Amino acid sequence: MRAFRSTRLVLDVAAILIVAAPFFFSGSQAYADWKDDVGYTQLVSELGPGLPTGSSVTVTQVEAADPAGSTNYSPNPSNSALAGINFTYQGAATSSSISSHATTVATYFYGSSSLATGVTDVTVWDASSWLSWVGNTESTDVVNCSWISTSSQISASDATRLSQYLDNSIRADDYVAVVGVNNGDSSTLPYLLCQSYNSISVGLTSGSHSSGTTTINGPGRIKPEIVAPTSRTSFATPMVSSAAAMLLETANSISTNAAHSTTIKAVLLAGATKSEFSDWSHTHDHPLDDTFGAGELNVYRSYHILTGGQQSASATRNTTTSLITQTAAGNISDDGWDYSRNATNTEKLYYFSIDPNETVSELSAVLTWNAVITSSGGSLTTTVANLDLYLYSVGESGGLTQLDLSDSSVDNVELLYETYLASGDYAIGVRSGTPNTYYSLAWHIATVPEPGALVLLTTALVAGLVLARRRLGRNG
């Protein structure tokens, strides 16, 4: 039994038997062009030596035994892909307890095949020891868990408690925890750890992973939240972790608000792409796709959302009187984010305008916030604030007409996605039924010429070329 500061829980996991398994299967591990697919190659070309690499970001890798029943948990420190890494070992993990699974995960998390090749400080845990330790102060920035426990390995009550411990730890210490779902096309989610609220759960672009809605620790929530282009969830998970580490280097140079775990989560989900999927869909009360979540990881878009900067709401609306009060902030830019909270009976409005002869070809906006875990009399309670996300058109007199909304009653993620908006004035609204809840909002708005304007522009260009050639002929 351990007691922590007031923001922590009293944890006791000594009686819980932890049986965990890595998602390891033989066969191909990652697609050779995955960095092209997630926008990394494009970002390298654009930023050159200014590319963030996760430098100064610290990470933790938690591993299950490989093979099961062994004491092998650790990446091979002598592997050339992990050169220059300073390992700290915790629990049963040691420099000699080498696991081929852990080594491959490390390669895609912070090694030479990762997006975060600047990471040098890594803590390694075995899963059982780490789960018993969660609740102490987590000092690293990103935690990767490429392992699961199923209903045959751990009870629902124990899995719920451990998920609550993880959720509380993420909120208390504000780090990014990335966890995987299982391999195989199944609607049965593993009990650990993907059914937590505050982590980021990861699947595969192919859809060959367990997916659907949670059955414990708050049923009905959609998992996974994002997917990556590889063949096994063991390796998709560290791909997302490496993206988080890369973005955190940039976030740390922007502000504390940029580096919040909810901000990084919102930025990653808002940047995710959906063009890879012919059947990606969601509804107002079902914010993510049942299989693909917010879509495929895209660090190019997420980086530009993050560097678009924090942008305050343009106005607030009293949800009781409908009175709108303008703030000092103007319209938001095409990419950006905010970390804020709403007062009682208040909706924050983020205005943006689409110029004449242009149209929005894609709008992606994601709202995230943390679940809160409290302890009383030895029992744990999860409280999830109710926040909703709206899209409005703004009339000439400033009136708002609702176009879309995301209002899940169970998820702590809301998502708006549009593939066409005509020229005009719009607003993204964040409304909270639970006041004073801190949230992170991230958005990406892509515009193109209106189809009619594009035809006119093309006609004008062709006419100009013809005229130029005629003039050249007369002058020749």
CATH code, domain carrying 371: 2.60.120.380
| Whether residues 138 and 222 fall in one domain | yes
Domain boundary among 261, 286, 307: 307
Q: What is the pLDDT of residue 9?
A: 54
Task: Please report, for residues 35, 243, 298, 429, 470, the alpha-carbon distance to residue 401 in angstroms, rounded to integers and kept in the order given.
Answer: 41, 37, 32, 11, 51
Q: What is the pLDDT of residue 378?
A: 83
Q: What is the pLDDT of residue 457?
A: 42
What secondary structure letter does DSSP report for 137?
A: P
Q: Is 373 within the bounds of a domain? A: yes
Q: What is the pLDDT of residue 32?
A: 62
Cis amide linkage into residue 22, ω under 30° from 0: no
Query: Which domain range does residue 57 map to?
Result: 21-307
| Whether residues 237 and 329 fall in one domain | no
| Whether residues 400 and 322 fall in one domain | yes
Give yes or no for residue 475 having a pLDDT over 80. no
Nearest-angstrom CA–CA distance, 347 and 88: 46
Q: Which tens digit of pLDDT belongs to each residue from 90-111? A: 999 999 999 999 999 999 999 9
Cis amide linkage into residue 190, ω under 30° from 0: no
CATH code, domain carrying 56: 3.40.50.200
Flag the least confident range among 151-155, 212-216, 355-359, 467-471: 467-471
Q: What is the pLDDT of residue 85?
A: 98
Q: Which tens digit of pLDDT belongs to each residue from 134-191? A: 989 999 999 999 999 989 899 999 999 999 999 999 999 999 999 999 999 999 999 9
Q: Which tens digit of pLDDT belongs to each residue from 275-313? A: 999 999 999 999 999 999 999 999 999 999 999 999 999
| Whether residues 26 and 153 fall in one domain | yes
Count up the domains in the chain and report the number.
2
Q: Is 205 within the bounds of a domain? A: yes
Q: What is the mean pLDDT of the chain?
A: 90
Q: What is the pLDDT of residue 25?
A: 40
| Whether residues 273 and 404 fall in one domain | no
Q: Is 113 within the bounds of a domain? A: yes
| Whether residues 36 and 152 fall in one domain | yes
% the chain with pLDDT above 70: 88
Averaged over 421-443, what is the pLDDT?
95
Give the model's confidence band at 469: pLDDT under 50 very low, under 70 low, under 90 confident, else very high.
very low
Q: What is the pLDDT of residue 328?
A: 83
